[in-house]
């Protein structure tokens, strides 16, 4: 694949993900795809696992839009490095549920009751953060994707601890 074909392919994948279209997103992947999202502890191998991981991701981030700003492509290695921005928004209702459950568990185990309101969202605006991508291609398809996302900024924006964030992920995984 040449540079232009790679960019077109990745931009088409980004458009499918923006639409939260799992089936269309998976058409860009090699049957032996390996999708890694280290900050989210996400690892999938093969189309079926990748489709499940994407479903959870799209539930977690109902608003998701990628913009690629910079790219570097090695045609010999069939490998691309890209950076850009991701505009996301967590499902506020899900965040509220996790925070309420954590508050209830704390009150139950400690015997201390709190009358404080749950502060789940520091801003009503979606969050735009840098994102970094690594792609490896085989047979005109993406064989490996590594997606680096700044989880600290996400948690800070939504006033979530890491434990609360991963509890949110776990609750969404059980809902599909």
Dihedral angle sign, alpha carbons of residues 68, 74, 80, 81: negative
Could you identify the residue written with the tokens 């090699």? Answer: 30
Domain that holds residue 55: 3-175
Tens digits of per-residue pLDDT, 97-110? 666 665 656 556 65
Query: Given a cut of 60, is residue 119 above it in pLDDT?
Result: no
Domains contained in the chain, number:
1
Please name the residue ranges forming H helices in 45-176.
Answer: 46-60, 92-110, 151-157, 162-175
Q: Is this structure's pTM higher than 0.85?
A: no
* Alpha carbon distance 172, 156 (integer Å): 20
* Alpha carbon distance 56, 173 (integer Å): 6
Mean pLDDT (the chain) is 85
H or E segment to which residue 9 belongs? helix 3-18
Residue 37's CATH number:
3.10.450.50
């Amino acid at each position: 694949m040449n540079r232009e074909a790679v960019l077109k392919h990745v931009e088409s994948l980004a458009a499918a993900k923006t639409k939260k279209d799992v089936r269309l997103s998976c058409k860009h992947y090699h049957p032996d795809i390996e999708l890694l999202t280290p900050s989210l502890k996400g690892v999938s191998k093969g189309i079926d696992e990748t489709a499940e991981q994407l479903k959870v991701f799209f539930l977690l981030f109902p608003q998701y839009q990628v913009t690629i700003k910079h790219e570097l492509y090695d045609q010999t290695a069939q490998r691309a490095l890209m950076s850009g921005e991701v505009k996301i928004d967590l499902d506020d209702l899900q965040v509220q549920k996790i925070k309420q459950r954590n508050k209830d568990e704390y009150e139950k185990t400690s015997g201390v009751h709190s009358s404080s309101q749950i502060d789940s969202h520091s801003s009503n605006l979606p969050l735009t953060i840098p994102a970094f991508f690594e792609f490896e291609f085989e047979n005109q398809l993406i064989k490996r994707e590594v997606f680096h996302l700044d989880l600290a900024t996400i948690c800070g924006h939504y006033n979530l601890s890491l434990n609360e964030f991963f509890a949110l992920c776990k609750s969404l995984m059980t809902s599909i």
